[in-house]
Amino acid sequence: MIQEKLYEDLLPRKFGRPGKIWVTVLVAICVVAAIAYYRQLKYGLSVTAMRDYMSWGIYISNFVFFVAISLVGSLISAILQLTQVRWSTPLTRIAEMIAVSAIIFAALIIIVDMGRPDRFMNVLIYGRIQSPILWDVIVITTYLALGLLFLYIALLPDLAIIIRQKGKVEAWVYRIAKILGSFWKGTPEQWKLQKSSIKILTLTIIPVALAIHTVTSWLFALTYRAGWDSTNFGAYFVSGAFLVGAAAVVVAMYVFRKFYSLQDYITDAHFNNMGKLVVMLALLYLYFNLNEYMVPAFKMKKPEEQHLRALFTGDFAPLFWIVIIMGMIVPIIVMLFPAGRKPLPMFLTGILIVVGAWLKRFLIVMPTLLHPFLPMSNVPDSYQHYFPTWEEWAITAGSLSGALLLVTLFARIFPIIPIEETIKERRKEELASLNQEYNELDETKQIIKPTPHQAYK
Amino acid sequence: MKTILRYPFYAYLFFFLGGALSGSISGKAQDKISPRLDVAYYQTDSAVRYLSLKVRQRVQKRFEPIAGAVVNVFLELPDETVKIGNVVSNAKGEGKILIGAKVLAAMHRLDEYSFYAEIPETDSLEEVTEYLVIKPSRLTLKTDDLDKSISVYLEAKTNGNWNPVEGAEVAVFIQRRFGKILVGESSMTDENGAVELAFDTKIPGDANGLLTLESAVEDHDEIGNVYATITTRWGLPMVASDQFMRRTLWGTRDRTPLWLLIFPNAMIAGVWGVIIYLIVLVFKMIRLSHKAT
């Protein structure tokens, strides 16, 4: 009976009206992005505002953002699972879906940033292992492979459920499930292999996840540029990535809970726990920010001074303080209080963190490039400033929409909450409560206590 | 004066006309610049002779360069005047003119070189002429490898004979790529026109330890600027630390440092080994399903 209700609640469902509007809007943005990218392919990178000095624009800041958000897969699925944090079980699939979508678009946006994408294969053919760019290519590919395997292997028992519940899902969803998971019979040997696979993945994905964002940070930190020349960068990037990833999961939790009516599965307790986690991560990130800005500001070396003044009081100051205050301090204050860890405040502060995180990546890339060591001279005015063109905005918005569309499609085809695991956990909970009841009765000698196996049955 | 004051009209007229006249005179003087022209003679032992020119104007208490001034340069011979050429001053007000082979041949017969340079009058510049008389000279630089000593001899031509020049300041330098290093201290030539110096500097030379020494007499009133050079083996052989083709981070792909090949590749192979193993496990699950059926 409980199982039937779970199937009904958690099996993939048709989109309602809001879902259809959501998908239409995302597809429309992707179409505009495709037109903009066609123009970029046709006319080259001159359609962007990137010039000699600003050679990395919002494409790269968007790439860093995607890589950051993808780290959440390892946080929720691996770190929390490995440390036996059971409350995170309903969130694992959401985290993995976000991670895989984000890393796919991180890889795509890098290709978009290339003036000659047809030469992409040259990176693999002629790439030198000395180059951090090649490290990034390798580590992204590796993380994508691990993320997909994690998502797929964990999904196998749920695919079998979809196949068994043929009449309750659309035919095309059933067909996809059959192609991907018809071999899953749930035999003890298969379970054993699946569990050991998940265990191996959990252990492997953590160092790779740390590597992916550390390597991304090294793309900056291995150059001798004001604002990037920092030994703090790896940890600073990883902590920021965990924060934005966790915030993205909070936003997704709220949306799925609301539109799929999952209040029984993603409860206020989940938001409460995620809130505590986000506060901890925000404090950690704030600490690294303090390190990142206070240490050079104390010394104020000449090139750093220009960069820091631009951030603290110059052209980038409004954006900088919005990021620090709205993206870190306000969420910490809100989520410190139990009332702030309710679903709606969590959702709103989650959005603040995600937007702040995107702007933060913008602030990491732009001000440094606009403050080279040698003063800019004899260059057109457009070289000295950077404001993305409509093509850049469209492509960036398209990539974000694409990632959201991918998450939406995943949710349309596969269960957002792991059904099999939820059934097991519910049974465990029942068993625990039964055991408790029996224990109480046992004390009064009224009944013989059953074995756990009997109780389970 | 009293009369002028008694007749204010005439006084006004006097001051008005006087002012206007002085204004027009000073206006003319302001229009045209009176340039200052400096000429210097340079001679090296590679038979290169040239004249260096500087065109400047006095602005308050400083000299400012005049760019674009055309300077004609001549050499006076006993029976004629030969034009060496003309030069246009650059943004720093400077110019240089090489003395051509024909003029050089004529100079060999002379006991004295009389150069003169002129800036012809233009709309903006007043005419100016500058004379420069130089005695023919020769500077000889010799080295002794046994005791690493340097000898410099300076001679000037007087009445067809080469005579030592006494009391001229001579300096010896080591030529470097972007400048010169003084060897010891500059010294005055003795009655034989000679200067002796010891070379006790340890300094890198080229790959073979070659150093180029240069002796110089500069800004001498009679002989101008005279240079002589010689190459010695007194430098320390310089081994260029070109690491490019070695196993460095900057090396070509086949020259990647070994540690960078071993560790990252081992890590990549390790992780991808795990990925492949996981894929194998998926296939095992597929095989198990066939057994179950």
Q: Mean pLDDT of residues grouped by 10 in chain A (457 residues)?
A: 81 91 97 97 93 91 94 83 84 92 94 91 87 91 94 94 90 94 91 94 92 93 91 94 94 94 92 95 96 93 90 94 95 95 96 96 92 84 90 97 96 93 86 83 61 53
Non-local CB neighbours of A15 within 8 Å, separated by 6+ positions: A22, A23, A412
What pLDDT digit, counting tens, does each position of A66-76 carry? Answer: 999 998 877 88
Non-local CB neighbours of A312 within 8 Å, separated by 6+ positions: A297, A320
- Taken as a whole, chain A contains a residue count of 457
- What count of Cα atoms within 13 Å lies in the side-chain half-sphere of residue B9? 0
Q: Which two three-digit tokens encode residue B118?
A: 């002129």
> Which one, of B113, B100, B5, lies nearest residue B48 by Cα?
B100
For residue A184, how many other CB atoms are within 10 A of its CB? 24
Residue B222 Ramachandran class (φ > 0 left, ψ -120 to 50 alpha, else beta): alpha
> Which one, of A368, A362, A383, lies nearest residue A52 by Cα?
A383
Q: Which residue has the tokens 């300076």?
A: B154
CA angle, corner A116, sides to A114 and A118, nearest 5? 115
pLDDT at A451: 58
User: Per-residue pLDDT averaged across B85-96, rounded?
Assistant: 94
pLDDT at A437: 82
Q: B177 and B183 in contact (C-beta within 8 Å)?
A: no
- What count of Cα atoms within 13 Å lies in the side-chain half-sphere of residue A30? 15
Nearest CB neighbour to A190, from listed B257, B275, B288: B288
CA angle, corner A441, sides to A439 and A444, nearest 5? 115
Q: B164 and B194 in contact (C-beta within 8 Å)?
A: yes
> Which one, of A56, A121, A55, A66, lies nearest residue A407 by Cα?
A66
Non-local CB neighbours of A5 within 8 Å, separated by 6+ positions: none
Distance CA B244, CA B242 (A): 6
User: Per-residue pLDDT averaged across B200-222, rounded?
Assistant: 92
User: Band of the pLDDT at B234, cuts 50, 70, 90?
Assistant: very high
Q: A142, B265: Cβ pair inside 8 Å?
A: no
**Please, is A264 exposed, middle or buried when counting C-beta atoms within 10 Å of its C-beta (0-12, 13-18, 19+)?**
middle
Q: Which amino acid does the sequence have at B159?
A: N
Q: B150 and B199 in contact (C-beta within 8 Å)?
A: yes
- The distance of A193 to chain B (nearest Cα, Å) reads 7
Nearest CB neighbour to A193, from listed B260, B281, B290: B281
Mutate to test the interface with A, among B283, B288, B290, B291 (most CBs of A within 10 A): B288
User: Per-residue pLDDT averaged across B47-54, rounded?
Assistant: 92
Residue B135 reports pLDDT greater than 50:
yes
Residue B109 reports pLDDT greater than 80:
yes
Nearest CB neighbour to B264, from listed A129, A187, A201: A129
Q: What is the DSSP letter of A183?
A: T
pLDDT at B279: 96
Element (H, E) at A15: none
Q: A360 and A331 in contact (C-beta within 8 Å)?
A: no
ipTM (interface pTM): 0.87
Element (H, E) at B52: strand B49-59
Q: Which residues of A touch B280 (CB under 8 A)?
A: none
Distance CA A343, CA A299 (A): 43
Q: Which two three-digit tokens encode residue A313?
A: 């009081």
Nearest chain A residue to B287 by CA: give it: A183
Mutate to test the interface with B, among A122, A125, A128 (most CBs of B within 10 A): A128
Q: B281, A142: Cβ pair inside 8 Å?
A: no
Mutate to test the interface with A, among B271, B277, B291 (most CBs of A within 10 A): B271
For residue B146, how many other CB atoms are within 10 A of its CB? 6
- The distance of B242 to chain A (nearest Cα, Å) reads 18
- The distance of A352 to chain B (nearest Cα, Å) reads 36
Q: Which residue has the tokens 């696979």?
A: A197
DSSP codes joined into one string, A77-141: IIIHHHTT-GGGHHHHHHHHHHHHHHHHHHHHHHHHH-S-GGGHHHHHHH--TT-HHHHHHHHHH
Nearest chain B residue to A128 by CA: give it: B253
> Which one, of B145, B141, B144, lies nearest residue B155 by Cα?
B141
Q: Kindly report the pTM of this predicted structure.
A: 0.71
What pLDDT digit, counting tens, does each position of B155-199 carry? Answer: 999 888 999 999 999 999 999 988 999 998 899 999 999 999 999
Nearest chain A residue to B257 by CA: give it: A130
Average confidence score pLDDT of chain B: 86
Q: Which two three-digit tokens encode residue A91?
A: 């969130």
Q: A204, B268: Cβ pair inside 8 Å?
A: no
Residue B17 reports pLDDT greater than 60:
no
pLDDT at A432: 86
Distance CA B103, CA B50 (A): 11
Q: Which two three-digit tokens encode residue A95?
A: 């985290």
Cβ pairs bridging A and B (under 8 Å): 68
Higher-confidence residue of B14 and A370: namely A370
User: Band of the pLDDT at B20, cuts 50, 70, 90?
Assistant: very low
User: Per-residue pLDDT averaged across B217-228, rounded?
Assistant: 94
Q: B281, A197: Cβ pair inside 8 Å?
A: yes
Mutate to test the interface with A, among B278, B284, B287, B293 (most CBs of A within 10 A): B278
Element (H, E) at B85: strand B81-88
pLDDT at B2: 43
Q: Which amino acid does the sequence have at A130?
A: Q
